[in-house]
Structure 1
Amino acid sequence: MKISKVDVILFCTQCNEDTDHEVIYFDSEIESLTCIECGKTTGLNHSELLSQYKHDWLTRIISKPHRMTEEMRKNLYDFIKNLPARMITKPKRVYNEVEDIKKIEKD
């Protein structure tokens, strides 16, 4: 799961003109649009978005042992073959997700 922020120019119905907007994506879906000029937000607010993201992240962490066990049962050879690389790259991926959350919380 990935949270990202993009600044774009869109038509604001409140301002009745094209203005800068901040678009927040959760994975590949738009979660909120905020007009920089008037502050009108459409969609989830940031705290709800971050709360949901943290909940999903915690759920993934808790379910990881079960998911790994299922992978092991399906194909032990591939599981063992890929495990060293996964153990090396996973901490970096988790770190990147935490940094994404921190960036969004600061904004």
Structure 2
Amino acid sequence: MTAEHADLWCETCDQVTEHELHYAGRLLESVRCQRCGHHVEMSARALIPAYAMDLEHRVVSKPRRLWLRASRDWRGFLKGLPRATARQPLKFAREFRELFRR
């Protein structure tokens, strides 16, 4: 899971405050106000189908993204390919675990 920060309107604080946004893959999983601690979380029931659609899109678009990356710098692409390939199963497992830990 990745975390980002953004200034958003908090309904509890009734003002713009810094929020921490948590993502499972590319999907927003939860938002927490850094000032008051108000926490909004997506339900697993809503996230699982959205994650499956996002994963399908990522798998289908992967060959094109690989081709574009290779066409820009084929030496760098070939050099980084083994590490990137080895990292993908761990990345997927981490996203999947975060999604189903709820």
TM-score between both structures, scaled by the size of structure 1 = 0.55
**8 Å CA contact 1:32, 1:43 repeated in 2:** yes
> Aligned to 2:101, what secondary structure does the other structure show?
helix
Which consecutive residues of structure 1, in runs of 5 or more, have no partner in the other structure? 5-12, 14-23, 34-41
Partner of 2:93 in structure 1? 95
Partner of 1:53 in structure 2? 51
Partner of 2:67 in structure 1? 69
Establish whether residue 26 from structure 1 lines up as the match of residue 23 from structure 2: yes
How many residues in Structure 1 have an aligned counterpart in Structure 2? 80
Which consecutive residues of structure 2, in runs of 5 or more, have no partner in the other structure? 4-11, 13-20, 33-39
TM-score between both structures, scaled by the size of structure 2 = 0.57
**Structure 2 CA distance, aligned partners of 1:101 and 1:55?**
14
Question: What RMSD, in angstroms, separates the aligned Cα atoms of the two structures?
Answer: 3.5
Identity fraction in percent = 19
> Aligned to 2:96, what secondary structure does the other structure show?
helix
Partner of 1:80 in structure 2? 78
Change (3 A) 1:62 1:69: same
Bigger Rg, which one: 1
